[in-house]
Amino acid sequence: MTINLDEIRVDLIGDDERGFEFLDPETLKPLTELELPTRGVLSAYLDISPEEVAGNKVRLKLRDMASQWLDSIEDRQERRTFEQELEKIEKYLIYEMSRPGRTLVIFSSEMANLWRTFHVPARIRTRLVWDDRPYMRPLLTVMDEYERYGVILATREEARFFLFYMGEIAEYSFALHDYVPGRHKQGGWAQARFQRHIDDHALHHFRNVADVAVRLAERDNWQRIVLMGTGENVARVREYLPKAWQDRVAGEVPASITDNINVIRDKVMTLEQEIERKIEAERVERVITAAEKGQNGVLGYADVLQAVQQQRVDILIVPEGLEHPGWECTQCGGLVADILAKPITECPYCGGHVKVVEDVVDLAMQKVLDTGGIVEILRGPIKDEFRQRGIIGALLRY
């Protein structure tokens, strides 16, 4: 059987009843490439957790951020353009707020004929940015922290494939149907031969399933694989995967071939969260142990920000929602957290001029990603414990 991979697409769910939009680098590419000759794109990151939505807090915050921008825009025409974009976002907030998610991300620009909204399951710091291009950085940072799961759901003669990412799932526009003759109840010699025939078909099918999966995995950068179905079938698919992909099987989950896509998504999400909690706990323990022994781990703003500056951070560990004001050097980019309540006037690294920044944590995360490091945002119960131990931490390269 020949399968043309070009014909297999990921069916983007778009607006399902939960309202998430599937995020992937391909979807975002036009946004990252967009650039206007002048400022005309309004980017909004809004906290839409229930506490914030209640009592209109989101809209009040948006208003507040907008008025700060308006104070800084001199040109009358530009102010009008800004206000038009703002109005669109406000309308959206009034009429479309009922959708779930932790953060609502909006990119709006009449000039660029752009209107995109993303309901992201992770928390991203609230902000409003007016520029000549969409402000993608926080979205890309959080995306980097999530892994792409390929999901294979197989029976003895059918298979469906899915891509799960950031709490959302999409199904591949392709399902495998391999003919396998039914089992007979007859006994004797004929039955034995027939049974072998059936098994050949089934094995051929499982080999096809594994083959398609590996090709999709390579094309679409799956990082982990979830095997779904009954125990026996799952074991067969696993058997036919190459060793490298066997090692990336995140788990086996019982499911029926007729399961609704939302059921599949919820099952994968439960598995993903278990895995994520485990990784969080393991990294937190590593950094605390390493810091205590004076090895390759540091805790607390001073040491962590210094390590960031020295480009030594392999994994930056940050409890979700952590923010802290401080300074950024305009010369070398060095970061200093405001922990002593004593303003600094020059950069401790190079003596350069420093400027006040609202949040050094956010800037530190970006620098770590820029230097090839990983950002681990703690979301599970270990988050609060870690805040007490060191607030912020880092595992170092050397």
Q: Among residue numbers 344 through 383, which ones bind Zn ion (CB under 5 A)? A: 347, 349-350, 352
Which of 274, 332, 356, 384 touches Zn ion (CB under 5 A)? 332
Q: What is the DSSP string of 351-373?
A: --BEEEES-HHHHHHHHHHHTT-
Answer whether 241's CB lies under 8 Å from 225's CB. Answer: yes
Please state whether 230 falls in left (phi above 0), alpha (psi between -120 and 50) or beta.
Answer: beta
Q: Does 334 bind Zn ion (CB under 5 A)?
A: yes
Q: Does 331 bind Zn ion (CB under 5 A)?
A: yes
Smallest distance, Å, CB 292 to Zn ion?
Answer: 30
String marking each residue 211-250 x if it binds Zn ion according to CB under 5 A: ----------------------------------------
Smallest distance, Å, CB 397 to Zn ion?
Answer: 21
Smallest distance, Å, CB 330 to Zn ion?
Answer: 8
Smallest distance, Å, CB 26 to Zn ion?
Answer: 38
Q: How many helices (H) and strands (E) does the chain have?
A: 12, 17
Smallest distance, Å, CB 346 to Zn ion?
Answer: 8
Nearer to Zn ion, 347 or 392 (CB): 347
Nearer to Zn ion, 226 or 347 (CB): 347
Which of 170, 250, 329, 394 touches Zn ion (CB under 5 A)? 329
Nearer to Zn ion, 12 or 344 (CB): 344
Nearer to Zn ion, 300 or 333 (CB): 333
Smallest distance, Å, CB 337 to Zn ion?
Answer: 15
Smallest distance, Å, CB 334 to Zn ion?
Answer: 4
Answer whether 127's CB lies under 8 Å from 104's CB. Answer: no
Q: Which of 99, 209, 198, 114 is nearest to 154 (CA)?
A: 209
Residue 33: partners with Cβ closer than 8 Å, 6 or more residues away? none
Q: Which of 155, 380, 147 is nearest to 250 (CA)?
A: 147
- Residue 347 CA to residue 340 CA, distance in Å, equals 15
At residue 274, φ and ψ (nearest 5 deg) are: -60, -45
Q: Which two tokens stand for residue 352?
A: 């350069």
- How buried is residue 137: exposed, middle or buried, by Cβ count under 10 Å (0-12/13-18/19+)? middle
Residues in the interface with Zn ion (CB under 5 A) total 8
Answer whether 216's CB lies under 8 Å from 152's CB. Answer: no
Nearer to Zn ion, 303 or 320 (CB): 303
Q: Does 326 bind Zn ion (CB under 5 A)?
A: no
What are the residues binding Zn ion (CB under 5 A)? Answer: 329, 331-332, 334, 347, 349-350, 352
